[in-house]
Structure 1
């Protein structure tokens, strides 16, 4: 239930960000950073994780990696907000469908992980799908690719540091906070002036922290209770909900070439999921039959 809740909240996030469509994406991002930082302070204190935060702060290597991860996370958030509020939800959906396949590719490229046959086929199908879109439109689906790439590299960086998700996110957000506050004071639009806004807009802005932290809490709760490989099967809930919102609620055009691209990526994900399930069952069988 926690896993379903987490990915469902990520999937319906466009419904929230559409309420702030009158604001520049940078303004929405600054509020997401500021209010998430405040909520995370309370959560870190409530869960008594200041020791983990302190340990990370004392490591120069950890801080450098978290700084780079924070930049990538902020860029990912900014592009996601911009894509939603400029009617590119389908591109965002495609990006998060591609993300797990890109994770496989990066695992081979940077971590020397060996790819199984079906994983190779899945990656090649995704590449073929994106190539069809490139040749049909004469342009690269850059929103989808940047979202997928930035989040995959973010995941790679986080694998390099032994920091729990919540303390890590808190430090990353804390690093973004000075930039967010400077932007708020000197560059933000009139809609970020909470002294002159109406109450409803201010409430939407304050909710940015909840929109960020609530799915993360559900995700970490799920990760503690079920196997990570099992958790991975739920990750398609998010982009699927985005896809339906884009097509059926917001009326984004689904041209033939784009639909073919989605078809290739969906087929790749089906093969990837089948292969992951098969590998999981083999590992479980080996573990149960291994002599003690």
Structure 2
């Protein structure tokens, strides 16, 4: 825990000392960091569409591999490699990092495949549901009692999922896998006594071993788009690192400088951009039943957001 506190102070100090024009406040800097992250996540499907001709596992493997040098460079700049050394020699940290790394890999793999297969609307639904999944996980595993508005919001989300299940003849598994994998990732990630930047580096470092093995296998099979593909494909795969690491790092910095309620409100930016892009740019079909389901989800999120703001006002008043 001491390492975590020291790491958090180091990251915050590095951010605060980087004054913007006119001595920008922490809140403004945090807002810019978080907004940049959510905007980048919102336009990420355009990149994923450009690599849709490649297998999702290959894209994910390169997302991991090329994220390592970026995360390592940031840790070196912040002087936080000591935390990483501690984590690598602590069995409990390694076990938890392997668990969170597995969950985020499942999330990334599903997302990459879904976008490339024309299911961007389903991915947007998944990330709309995610905040409500977090509420449910808190109630089940942390004993947190759901307020009445939160219970209503979760109920509306369940109705939306049931409606889509009946309409399509099966569970909206893409949305549910994305929502629950990211929900459990965030839940277990909180148990890691290490800062977000160090944690991300630890996760991609652990994932780099199977990723390199998979890439070696594609080379041996002659199916590697990096070694056997065009220069365009090589460039796209190299860009997978910045496309993955940069928004995550920006989000980590922004979350440290913003209030929880502000981050909670901003988290809807990315799925909204994805949703609009899916309909108006990618041309995915959007039925009346899907519209009703999304309307239920949007209503649920409005109720949840209202309850979150009310709670924040009570805490501030106290």
TM-score interval w.r.t. the shorter chain?
over 0.9
* Worse-superposed segment, 188-197 or 156-165: 188-197
Deviation at 1:193, TM superposition (A): 4.5
Q: Is the 1:23–1:191 contact (alpha carbons within 8 Å) kept by the matching residues of 2?
A: no
In structure 2, the CA distance between the partners of 1:192 and 1:153, relative to structure 1 (3 Å rule), is: same
**In 2, Cα distance between equivalents of 1:112 and 1:40:** 35
2:246 alignment partner in structure 1: 214
Q: Is the 2:218–2:224 contact (alpha carbons within 8 Å) kept by the matching residues of 1?
A: no
The answer as to 2:233 corresponding to 1:201 is yes
Q: Residues 145-183 of structure 1, C-alpha deviation per residue, up to 9 Å, x if partnerless?
A: 001000101111111121111111111111111111111
1:230 alignment partner in structure 2: 262
2:35 alignment partner in structure 1: 4
TM-score by length of 2: 0.87
**In 1, Cα distance between equivalents of 2:36 and 2:225:** 33
The answer as to 2:141 corresponding to 1:101 is no
Deviation at 1:195, TM superposition (A): 4.3
SS across alignment from 1:12: helix
Q: 1:174 aligns with which of 199, 205, 224?
A: 205
Q: 2:301 aligns with which of 254, 259, 269?
A: 269
Q: 1:90 aligns with which of 121, 126, 129?
A: 121
The answer as to 2:81 corresponding to 1:50 is yes
The answer as to 2:99 corresponding to 1:65 is no
Deviation at 1:104, TM superposition (A): 0.2
Deviation at 1:261, TM superposition (A): 0.9
2:168 alignment partner in structure 1: 137
Q: 1:163 aligns with which of 171, 177, 194?
A: 194
Q: Is the 1:79–1:147 contact (alpha carbons within 8 Å) kept by the matching residues of 2?
A: yes
Q: Is the 1:89–1:246 contact (alpha carbons within 8 Å) kept by the matching residues of 2?
A: yes
**In 1, Cα distance between equivalents of 2:136 and 2:227:** 48
List alignment gaps of at least 5 residues for structure 1. 287-292
* Worse-superposed segment, 57-66 or 92-101: 57-66
Q: Residues 13-57 of structure 1, C-alpha deviation per residue, up to 9 Å, x if partnerless?
A: 100111111101111011101101121111111211111111212
List alignment gaps of at least 5 residues for structure 2. 1-31
**In 1, Cα distance between equivalents of 2:265 and 2:142:** 22
In structure 2, the CA distance between the partners of 1:191 and 1:205, relative to structure 1 (3 Å rule), is: farther
